[in-house]
Structure 1
């Protein structure tokens, strides 16, 4: 019960449904009571009208009365006939009644009854009696048992409630369905916003929404605009800072190269080597920051069919010198090529960062394999290496900027996988991390699913 009260206080839809249902129930009960009483009274009026019609018919036809001898009924099996039983007698003959009960006629009605309708008790049974003076001056009594009259009236009244009994549950179902449909735009809007990525900050379409919800959506759109402006400012700051740092670092790199060419002692050359490596790491970090700022921008890039094997080949041409330094066995598995729908520069950046990451963390003499296959209607690009892999606890964090796995001495900026994730979110790709060797939990296997542009070619 407490759970229902909590839901009722928190849910506008449930509160509206319950309120409308209670209102319908109260109105239905009041209307049912009114209909029942009205039908009951109307049935009595019709029964009284029947008594009058019988009296008028008796007077017009100048009928005469002859009372049957003996009892009218001698068993309870004739109770059903009481509903249609009418008693007609001369009021003056009431004094000739043989007993004080309603088993034989004439019945002992009071001879002093005035013309009109009245209720008289005979032998413990109530009768509705109409007394009328005929054109011949005779006073007649037309009577009917009130028990039979009430039974008929109740049955007629219950039949009048039948439409309420049918319409009430139907109306509840209609109201419940209507309330759900009225709140459906809110659920649709919530689902639409929830499925957006961090880069999708465009305004929510409010033209198809009800008027009551539009102010809330307008406020959301204003918030999205402010967030977009803030993120755009941050990206511009990162890009501008990287641009400003690129020139001094380039100058430092050139000066370090000139210094290395000068006559220096072995000790000076030994100290210059870490300086040059630090400058190179700084340049790589700036390039990665510029790339991250670019892929996180809101500018939509045109998509076109791109050959996966062609991108693989170009990436390997750029990074093969790094792989040769560590004597890595790197190459493409399979001959099946697939055309995917993505911007070529985005795919090039994505694959290059994944392969560069694999080269950095694969030990000397290791192996890196690139492949592409069809998987449930999509192209599955896979880069597998024989490095240490990434444990399950760190897989959610490795996509954070500047995060680097603990226990590794490999130099890096920690932005490679962040760039990959930004491209995947913007292009609708899906990324999954796993182990190359699931048994030994060794090696990193990165799978990327992309939309297919055409049938795969061999």
Structure 2
């Protein structure tokens, strides 16, 4: 029962076409049957009228050579449409005894339709016609009345199917328009050209979009405000820690100061990522122009080089790298590259390798970051894009926002991101970011 309801709900257009077509066929069958019966009866009536009119034209007894006899003793033309018989009370006692008018007779095993008439000289004649021939004529006439209906019904079914598709087309267009939107494209659905029956549903969707947009904006404001407000106390704590480090301290206190500074640095980095996330999730659509991906990578490498050198990591561009132009906002591309490079350095082993690469695939510009670190387990590769998720078992602890920020930015310009095992190193990870060469406007 639930399956049938689900199927009906999934294919209203199909079932509406089926029901309307079935109704048309039912009406056509009933109409055709009634038309056939009426046409058949009318053909018989016309033939009866033809017998009457033919008999009224005879005003004397036909001569012997004009008479077409019914039985073989008098000579007969069994294939004749019309038989005219000069009735004799001795030879045809049954026919002679019938009153004037129409009769159905059974003569020599064959059925006839007869019209008996008494002439002015009191002689009597009978006009006979085989019912088999009459039925054949009536059938032909009735079938000819059905031919227009047989042609019209398929045309009508095709027309109804086309009309149903045309009526439902705005719904399909509306569904595709909503489905093609990004996560934060919450502007109202245009109502122009929509059927009146769908407009209440569209009103409800627009009101829902409005409420969701308000909720998202409130969350973004809270996130940005909280991160911004926390900057000042974190900066003050960092300043105090630096002043305290300059004082003469015993080894145990100095070790605790170092731990405190590392904690403050992690907090500062977390606040920076929260602000980046708030900007990445902001609702306004930014101007996206052609950006040199290699140029962005160069700037990121210059900024990340000191951190890489501190860990002895070999950081650079791959040998096969070539420049490519991507259609995106420069700050978005910078955040993507910076977060991926920062993660690769931070979670790699000391003395490791981090290589950046750019190449082309079918319809895509692909940016890659490959390292020989511990990598990410297959089971965690979907969850690492969730905010604040941290992979267990790593020495370095992070905020869990880097890949979430990258995923949000990639989704904004209809790109995609994939995680793969490194093919160059025994262990490691390759992060691939796909930029569409022909993004939607």
Report the alpha carbon displacement of residue 185 of structure 1 after superposing the two structures with TM.
Answer: 3.0
Cα distance in 2 for partners of 1:270, 1:359 equals 24
Quick check: 1:203–1:224 contact (8 Å CA) kept in 2?
yes
Cα distance in 1 for partners of 2:312, 2:304 equals 13
Cα distance in 1 for partners of 2:73, 2:132 equals 17
Give SS of 1:437's match: coil
The answer for the alignment partner of 2:51 in structure 1 is 51
Quick check: 1:7–1:14 contact (8 Å CA) kept in 2?
no
The answer for the alignment partner of 2:72 in structure 1 is 71
Give runs of aligned pairs for residues 12-51 of structure 1, distance below 5 A. 12-51=12-51
The answer for the alignment partner of 2:328 in structure 1 is 342
Report the alpha carbon displacement of residue 136 of structure 1 after superposing the two structures with TM.
Answer: 5.8
The verdict on how the C-alpha distance between 1:358 and 1:73 changes in structure 2, with shifts beyond 3 A counting, is: farther
The verdict on how the C-alpha distance between 1:153 and 1:72 changes in structure 2, with shifts beyond 3 A counting, is: farther
Report the alpha carbon displacement of residue 110 of structure 1 after superposing the two structures with TM.
Answer: 2.8
The verdict on how the C-alpha distance between 1:226 and 1:89 changes in structure 2, with shifts beyond 3 A counting, is: same
The verdict on how the C-alpha distance between 1:63 and 1:439 changes in structure 2, with shifts beyond 3 A counting, is: farther
Cα distance in 2 for partners of 1:27, 1:73 equals 52
Quick check: 2:354–2:369 contact (8 Å CA) kept in 1?
yes
2:88 pairs with one of 91, 94, 97: 94
TM-score, length basis structure 2: 0.90
The verdict on how the C-alpha distance between 1:132 and 1:220 changes in structure 2, with shifts beyond 3 A counting, is: same
Quick check: 1:353–1:416 contact (8 Å CA) kept in 2?
yes
Quick check: 1:35–1:157 contact (8 Å CA) kept in 2?
yes
Where in structure 1 do 4 or more consecutive aligned residues deviate above 4 Å?
1-6, 8-11, 67-70, 72-75, 133-138
Q: Does 1:259 align with 2:244?
A: yes
> Bigger CA drift: 190-199 or 251-260?
190-199
2:345 pairs with one of 334, 359, 377: 359
2:387 pairs with one of 391, 395, 401: 401
The verdict on how the C-alpha distance between 1:392 and 1:182 changes in structure 2, with shifts beyond 3 A counting, is: farther
Report the alpha carbon displacement of residue 120 of structure 1 after superposing the two structures with TM.
Answer: 3.4
Give SS of 1:110's match: helix
Quick check: 1:9–1:15 contact (8 Å CA) kept in 2?
no
The answer for the alignment partner of 1:424 in structure 2 is 410
Report the alpha carbon displacement of residue 352 of structure 1 after superposing the two structures with TM.
Answer: 0.4
Quick check: 1:371–1:381 contact (8 Å CA) kept in 2?
yes
Cα distance in 2 for partners of 1:373, 1:328 equals 23
The verdict on how the C-alpha distance between 1:451 and 1:7 changes in structure 2, with shifts beyond 3 A counting, is: closer
TM-score, length basis structure 1: 0.86
Q: Does 1:331 align with 2:316?
A: yes
Quick check: 2:321–2:358 contact (8 Å CA) kept in 1?
no
Aligned residues: 435
Q: Does 1:227 align with 2:212?
A: yes
Report the alpha carbon displacement of residue 210 of structure 1 after superposing the two structures with TM.
Answer: 1.5
1:316 pairs with one of 301, 309, 312: 301
Give runs of aligned pairs for residues 176-325 of structure 1, distance below 5 A. 176-325=161-310
Report the alpha carbon displacement of residue 192 of structure 1 after superposing the two structures with TM.
Answer: 3.4
Cα distance in 2 for partners of 1:180, 1:73 equals 71
**Structure 2 residue ranges without an equivalent (≥5):** none
Q: Does 1:445 align with 2:440?
A: no
Quick check: 2:372–2:425 contact (8 Å CA) kept in 1?
no
The answer for the alignment partner of 1:85 in structure 2 is 81
Cα distance in 1 for partners of 2:234, 2:332 equals 26
- 1:435-457 per-residue CA deviation (whole Å, 9 max, x = no partner) reads 112895x211111122448xxxx
> Bigger CA drift: 48-57 or 295-304?
48-57
The verdict on how the C-alpha distance between 1:197 and 1:25 changes in structure 2, with shifts beyond 3 A counting, is: same
Q: What's the RMSD between the two structures over aligned residues? A: 2.8
Quick check: 2:293–2:324 contact (8 Å CA) kept in 1?
yes
Give SS of 2:72's match: coil
Report the alpha carbon displacement of residue 364 of structure 1 after superposing the two structures with TM.
Answer: 1.1
Cα distance in 2 for partners of 1:384, 1:324 equals 17
Cα distance in 2 for partners of 1:73, 1:255 equals 141
The verdict on how the C-alpha distance between 1:241 and 1:202 changes in structure 2, with shifts beyond 3 A counting, is: same
Q: Does 1:388 align with 2:374?
A: yes
The answer for the alignment partner of 2:98 in structure 1 is 113
Cα distance in 2 for partners of 1:332, 1:252 equals 37
The verdict on how the C-alpha distance between 1:6 and 1:126 changes in structure 2, with shifts beyond 3 A counting, is: farther
Quick check: 1:109–1:120 contact (8 Å CA) kept in 2?
no
Report the alpha carbon displacement of residue 13 of structure 1 after superposing the two structures with TM.
Answer: 3.3
Cα distance in 1 for partners of 2:241, 2:369 equals 36
Give SS of 2:365's match: strand
The verdict on how the C-alpha distance between 1:108 and 1:33 changes in structure 2, with shifts beyond 3 A counting, is: farther
Cα distance in 1 for partners of 2:261, 2:184 equals 37
Report the alpha carbon displacement of residue 264 of structure 1 after superposing the two structures with TM.
Answer: 2.5
Give SS of 2:89's match: helix
